[in-house]
Each structure stands twice: as structure tokens, then as C-alpha cells.
Structure 1
Amino acid sequence: MSKSEELKSDKFQRRALQVKEAQAKVMEYAKMLDLEEVPLSSSSGRYLAEDVFSPHPFPAFNRSGMDGYAIVASDTEECGNGNVVWLRIVDDIPCGAVPSVDLTPGTAARIMTGAQVPTGADTVVMLEVTELQVKDGHKYTGIRKKQEAGRNITPCGMEIKQGELVLPAGTLIAAGEVAVLAAFGVHTVKVRRRPKVAVFATGTELLEVHEPLSPGKIRNSNSPMLEALIREAGGEPVMLGAIVDDLELARSKVQLALESYDLVITTGGVSVGDYDIMGDLVREEHADMLFNKVTMRPGSVTTAAMRAGKLLLALSGNPGACFVGFQLFARPVIGQMQGASHPFLPECTAVLGADYTKVNNYTRFVRARLENREGIVYAIPATIDESSVMVTIKDSDCLVIVPPEDKGLAAGAKVTVLMLPK
């Protein structure tokens, strides 16, 4: 680590870690939780805990893609030039029924979309291009155009073969995954338990949301934001209110939470002020501090520790920094606890849509919105992205990664962005 990354000697004896190094440290302690089974109807938003293999091919039979007639394609060789081939209709197959007879040359079966194609048939001709007549008490279908084998039939196993891996463990279940599981008769799904995440805010200056403003006070907006973010990440938030700037009170409340829940997140109290109690708490002998500074803006004071065998994440009290800290550290921890195969925010490349002139010796994670202009994706940085600014959070769908430089980035530069969940 370079000299510039060494921690200045202050009351917290901070040593700054790179973001990826800090992420690796917390992920080491993000252990997967116990298995549980949930009904398929309740599985959306959960992560599969085991691989799912197909118990049968899908579709399980040759399936008609049209309303029409199942036929033997070679019967239509003489069609054309006004010549009509008449085939005797020997079966009527609605969707959900099983063919009653096999087809032989010279015969046809009336069939509906999605129905099982009879053995012997190798194509389905659409109803609109056929004719119908009755002769000697028997129905015949007339075909004027030569038909190719394989048309309008979805073969057995075309989508998925028997024994094939359908969904790997760690898959986030959404509507498409629910459909696949239902198609294979998976009516209960093995998932990992949702982590119970305790949330504290710290600061004597905090008011509850319903309280009127008073001089020197601010409403606690971080806790409701964290509650929503935890739910989005698949966790179960447990809101434990705000703690005044009292170390003894904080110690007892945090200790009880660590004993009762899977993860504890605090916001505020991690800077270098005289009343920043979380910084003091994580340095106590009962805590194994993982880090208390990260080379990032906003949120460089983001702190993590192990205490009572549980992970404690102390995020900045500034809303913008709290939001970024959650996305970079808390979200992947909550995901990995549920067995997510991809717990980190997905990365992609975009074109910077406006100049970004702010410089820093730390990596910046700039709130931005994406915009598609003639097929090119642009990332438009928020005009105000200070750590204390809250309003631009709602307008952002990505974080632009601005590496440490002595100059800003010009519009048109290619940048890496982290996609925010929506």
C-alpha cells in the first residue's frame, strides 16, 4: 500500500482500504443462512438454495404451434398447379387431449394450438389454408400447397432436455423463474432464510419522521431509507430507532441487537467528532475492527467490525454517503447471506453525458441517471452529489465510478457505472 494510503494519526488511527479490499473483508464474514422451503407463490425475490434439474423434457411431447391439421408432409408432394390433395380426417385433438390414433399416409388429424401431435405426423398445416368437405360420411381436408416437414411443430425437449440444469443455485427468482419452476411441478422451493437486519441511527440531533422541526434538529431520513434498501436487497429490516450520543447506551443496544439479529447496520457516529460514538465502539477490545476508512467518496468513514460473532456495518450519517455505503457493502452482504450468485451491483460501460470537474485522491461514486440517445447509453451525473445531499438519490439509477485523478472527466469519456436496483 502506498504512503498516500496510510492512515493519518488521529484518535481513530485510521488506515484507509481500497473499496474492493474492504468489500472482500466484509464478504468473508457474510455467511449463508439456513435453508428453508417456501411455496412457489412466495418465492419471488428469494434466491434458490440448490440447483434445479428438469425431471422431464420441455415440452414433454411434440406440440402443435397452430390451429389446423397434423399431416404427413410427403402426402402433399403432388400439390400445386391447381391440384388439391384430400386427406381423410381420422382424429380431433383439442389442447390437453391425447391422440387416439397414429397417423398414416393419406390421413390427417384436426389439432389445436398447444395440443400433442400424433405419432406419424411430421407437420401441421394452418387451418386458414385448408378446405373441408364431407364424402361418404367421412370428413376430408383439402390442401393446395406443398408442405414442408417440421413446420408449426415444437419438438419434444426443444426448450429443455430431461436432466438438464434449469436454474442454478444462487439464482434470484423472478416471474420467469417462477414460470419455469411451475412448468416442472416445483411447488415448494428451497431458499436461504432472509437475514434479519437491525438498524440504528445515532445522533442527539435526530427527530422521528412524525415530529415537528425544532431548532438545531433534523428528521431521521436515513433509517426509513435503509429500511427500504434492506427490503429491496431481500432482508428483513428491524428498526430499532435512534440512539443519542451516549457510548454506554449505544454499547448495550448494539450488543443486544448483535445477539438477536443476523446483521447490524448503524448510520452516523463514524466521523472524528467528539460525539461520534460508533468510531469509539468498534475500537473496543470486544470488537474486531475490519476497517474504519475506505478510499471512496462519499462515505470514506464507512466502518465494519465483528462483534459477538456478528457483522456490524457503521455507515455515514450523511444521506448520500449512507446510500452509497449501503450499495457497496451492505447490499452484497445481505445478498451473500441468502446465497446470491452475483451479490455485487452489476457493472456496465456508458458515455459520460456532462463534464465532471470535481477531483479527489479517492475514487468517487457519483450518483447519475442513464439516458439513451440514438442507441448510445449516457450517464448524466447529478448536478449536486455532496455526501450530505439527499434529494438526488431518488433521481439516480447508477453510480459513475470516477477514479482518483488530478483532473476531472470531460463529457464523452467512457466510464464504468454500477447499476442500481430498480
Structure 2
Amino acid sequence: MVTVNEAKQRIIANSNTLPTVTVPLEKAGGGFLAKDVIAPIALPPFRQSSMDGYAIVHSDITQPGTELRLVGESKAGQVDLPVVNIGLAARIFTGAPVPDGATAVVMQENTSAADGIVMINEFPVPDGKNIRRVGQQIAAGAVALPAGTLVSPGAIGFLKGMDVNAVTVYSKPRIGLLVTGDELLKSGESLRPGKIYESNSAMLKAALNQIGIDSVTISYASDELHATIEALKALLEENDVVLASGGISVGDYDFVGKALEALGAETIFYKVRQKPGKPLLFGKKKEKLIFALPGNPASSLVCYYEYVLPALQKIMGSKEPFLRSVQLPIRHAYRFDGERDEFLKARVEGNEVVSLDGQESFVIGSFAIANALIYLPVSQNQVAVGELVEVHLLPV
């Protein structure tokens, strides 16, 4: 049995980023950049007005009510621009190029115009006011987005504005999910004595979709060694990461561990000194990662967040943690006995964290409203109201 920290260290040490692939920008969403993206042009590429108003020479304005002669206009996309010299002004619109000679833009609300003359009712007018400088957002040749950045909708819009049409990203992992348990019913089957509806596959698939993984293959195996071996073998052949739900404890019908051994998989560790989720197995078969998760839904989801997520973060090339850690005061006192660290389903509310009712490993209902996990090591087995605790924020 290993500690929580030992388990996480071993997982990261045995996880490697997936190969890279260059894809069209529109198909890169949800991936993580494998290379820095260098800005091919400056943004904006020309001096640009940030207001509807008048382009002027700022030093012309020596008092409120200064009058200037209009010499034309500049609208978005215009090429043939007037020149704004001393004593002159040009009508200008948001996003339009600033004419040569102009050093500021006065918003139209601070002006009045008639008969070819515009009166500037603002004073003073600083140099550069309401003008977006060339490269103010990004300079040509600068790193627009560093490696490890998520290709979000905002990132796509940013890069497309520089005519970047393809990027190199880390491949998204293919996930195989094995569900075991003869007591499990599939959706739509009639409920019978001794049976329960299987929910872990839908739960884990939703958690994977949440971080942009959509290649998830779900298989089922009866509580029998040969069936478990065959199901795991097929999943390992086709996927980068295999998650097994159930069948990893010490019961007579728990065959996942034996099946992995029969397939020649290496067990990196089995069992973690924690509650819930003690019977967690992490292993490898060549470069394929294997997580055998407990069958109890809450235990399974805790182990997914605490151990699978960090591995996925590394193999997907993310520079930002999928599970962020913060220190927050706890609203209610809490204590526990025993020699295992505890994870508590929790909600962050304002500037504090609240442990939820229903902490048992079979209770998944409290996870439905949880947005965090509280991590309490054995050394902190008694916490007072307002004491700072380690809080892991769940992905949203």
C-alpha cells in the first residue's frame, strides 16, 4: 500500500505525453499546443481607432471648444485615407485605420460638427488617446500562444485573426473503459432482486468528455476470469489508457488484478492509504496506462479526479492542472479516526468550503452538487471551524 503522494508521484513518473499531430485550426479545439505559436503578423497590423469620433493632432487642442476643419473620413477597411495635419480633423469609426498625421481620436460624444467644422469639447487630449497601436495586442514574431495552451474558442479566434490555419497539438488519448459486475443492469432492463443499475460508465465518460476526450470505448465483462482477460486485452490493443470499474478488491469474484497479471501488465502500485478509494491499482503495459478503479461510484469518481486526471493532464500536454488546489477555511469542524487520509465531497461557497452529507463510498448523490474535494491527511484528522484545508477544485 502506498500513500496518496507516493501514488501521484508514481503515476506522473510513468506517464508520457502522446505523439503530436498537425491539424487544421478548426479541428484543434480541446487539444493542447505542442509547439509555441509565433505571431506571423502584428495585431492590430495598423494604427486603429477604438472609438467612433474624430482623428486629430492632439497638440491642436489648447482649450475646450477648439475648432478644426474636416478633411474627410476613415471607415473600416478604407485604404485611401486623408492626411491630418495641424488644424485639421477627420471623421473616423471604430476599427478604422488612423490617418497619417493624427495623434489622437476624440470620441464623438465630446464633439459637435457642422458646415465642415468640428468643435472639440474635450481638454486636454493626451497623445495616443483612443488609438490602438500597431502590435498592441501582439507583435509580429512574438510568441502568440506557448506550448501547453488549451486550444479554446478564444484561442481559435485569436489565431485565426492572424491567419494561422494549422497548429501542432498533442494527440488526444483514446480511452477504454471496462465495467465489471454481475449485479449490474443496463439501462432499460427490468429491476430485479439483487441487481442495481450500472452508472459508472456514463459517469466516467461524462468526466472524460468534460476535458475534451471524446474517444471512449465502453466494454462489459461478467465476473469470470477469462471474460475479464479477453475484454481487457481488446481494450489495451486499441486504446492509450484503460480504466476498469470494479473487480479490483479482494473478493472471490474480483478478477481485474488477475486478468492484468495474465496479460503481462506491470503493476506500479495496488492500494492507496486513503478513504474512499483504497483498492486502486495503477499499472502499465508498454506505454499504455491502466487504472483499476473501485466499483463504488463515489470511490471511483474520487480516484478518477485525484489520479486519472493528473495522468491525462500530462499525456495531453496541458501546462495547467486539470485539478487545481487552493487553501480555504472550512465551515464546519470535522474529525476522523484511522490511518488513512480522507477525501471529502464538498462545495466551495464564497470564500469557504463546506463538507457535504453522504460521505460514504457508495453515495454518489452528494457528488451531484459537489464542486470540490477536501483533502485531509492523517496529520490533519481534526479540523476546527475556519481552519484552512486543502481543497481540490473539480473541473467545470
The alignment's TM-score, normalised by the length of structure 2, stands at 0.94
**Secondary structure in 2 matching 1:204:** coil
Counterparts of 1:36 and 1:407 in 2: how far apart (Å)? 47
2:119 aligned partner, one-letter code: G
Please give the residue correspondences for 1:8-27 in structure 2 after superposition, counting only pairs within 5 Å: 16-27=1-12
2: CA distance, partners of 1:328 / 1:406:
19
| 8 Å Cα contact 1:361/1:405 also seen in 2 | no
In structure 1, C-alpha distance between the alignment counterparts of 2:126 and 2:289, rounded to whole Å? 64
Answering whether residue 267 of structure 2 is matched by residue 289 of structure 1, we say: yes
* Aligned residue in 2 for 1:116: 97
Instruction: Specify the alignment match of 2:81 in structure 1.
Output: 100
SS of equivalent to 1:245: coil
Question: RMSD of the TM alignment (CA)?
Answer: 1.9
Q: What corresponds to 1:131 in structure 2? A: 112
List runs of 5+ in structure 2 lacking aligned partners.
none
Give the number of equivalent residue pairs: 395
1:404 aligns to 2:378 (yes or no): yes
Change over 3 Å in CA distance of 1:406–1:185 after alignment to 2: closer
Is structure 2 residue 178 aligned with structure 1 residue 189?
no
Aligned to 2:120: 143
Give the whole-Å Cα distance in 1 for the aligned partners of 2:146 and 2:42.
Answer: 17
Contact preservation (8 Å) 1:223, 1:239:
no
**2-structure distance, mates of 1:215, 1:180:** 57
Asked if 2 retains the 8 angstrom alpha-carbon contact of 1:227 and 1:237, the reply is: no
> In 2, Cα distance between the equivalents of 1:370 and 1:95?
46
Residue 6 (structure 1) aligns with = none
Q: Look up the match of 1:8.
A: none
- C-alpha change, 1:144 and 1:371, in structure 2 (3 Å) is closer
2:338 matched residue in structure 1: 360
SS of the residue corresponding to residue 157 of structure 2 reads helix
Counterpart in the other structure of 2:46 = 61
The answer to whether the 8 A contact 2:233-2:263 is kept is no
Q: CA deviation at 1:353?
A: 1.4
Instruction: Indicate whether 1:229 and 2:207 are aligned.
Output: yes
Which residue does the alignment assign to 1:370?
348
SS across alignment from 1:162: coil
1:138-188, CA deviations, whole angstroms, 9 ceiling, x for partnerless residues?
Answer: x22223443332222122222222222221111112232222112222233
Query: Quick one: which amino acid aligns to residue 360 of structure 2?
Result: E
Q: Give the partner amino acid of 2:37.
A: V
Q: CA deviation at 1:124?
A: 0.9
- Secondary structure at 1:273 match in 2: coil
TM norm structure 1: 0.88
Letter aligned with residue 168 of structure 1: P
The answer to whether the 8 A contact 1:270-1:302 is kept is yes
Aligned pairs for 1:139-288 within 5 A:
139-146=116-123, 147-284=125-262, 286-288=264-266
Between the two proteins, what is the percent identity of the paired residues?
Answer: 34
SS at structure 1 position matched to 2:334: coil
**Matching residue within 365, 369, 374 for 1:395:** 369
Tell me how far 1:322 sits from its aligned partner: 0.2
Partner of 1:326: 304
What amino acid maps onto 2:356 in structure 1?
Answer: A
Tell me if structure 2 keeps the 8 A contact 1:64–1:116. yes
Counterpart residue identity of residue 316, structure 1: P
Match of 1:316 in 2: 294
Say if 1:234 and 1:335 are closer, same or farther in 2 by CA, change over 3 A.
farther
CA contact (8 A) 1:235 1:334 kept: no
